[in-house]
């Protein structure tokens, strides 16, 4: 079943290549979405895909960025099919 999620990452996530790493990692999983810096210093990830692909992607992203991401807040979102790839915004 296809799902969507919004994840807000905080910590030292801007200016360290986090968005680029998130995009590169998306190539290993069947996920689509966007990643962007927010003015408050957090990074917002919008993602869609199968539940297991999203979970695997997020686990790998957090593992690869251990020490950079201090906290993450996940908000469930309905699947909308709005993405055709994985893009960095801004």
For residue 80, indicate whether it is catalytic: no
Mean pLDDT by 10 residues, the chain (90 residues): 96 96 98 98 98 97 94 93 95
- Of the residues 3, 12, 37, 65, only one is catalytic, namely 37
DSSP string, 1-40: -EEEEEEEEEES-SSSSHHHHHHHHHTTTTEEEEEEE-TT
Q: Catalytic site residue 65? A: no
- Extents of the domains making up the chain: 15-80
Catalytic residue, from 3, 12, 19, 74: name it: 19
CATH number of 15-80: 3.30.70.100
pLDDT at residue number 1: 86
pTM of the full structure: 0.94
């Amino acid at each position: 079943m296809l799902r969507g999620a919004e994840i807000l990452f905080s910590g030292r996530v801007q200016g360290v290549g986090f968005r680029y790493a998130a995009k590169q990692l998306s190539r290993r999983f069947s996920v689509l979405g966007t990643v962007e810096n927010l003015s408050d210093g957090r990074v917002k990830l919008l993602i869609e895909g199968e539940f297991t692909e999203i979970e695997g992607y997020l686990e790998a992203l957090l593992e690869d960025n251990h020490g950079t991401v201090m906290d993450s807040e996940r908000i469930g979102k309905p699947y909308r099919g709005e993405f055709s790839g994985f893009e960095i915004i801004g």
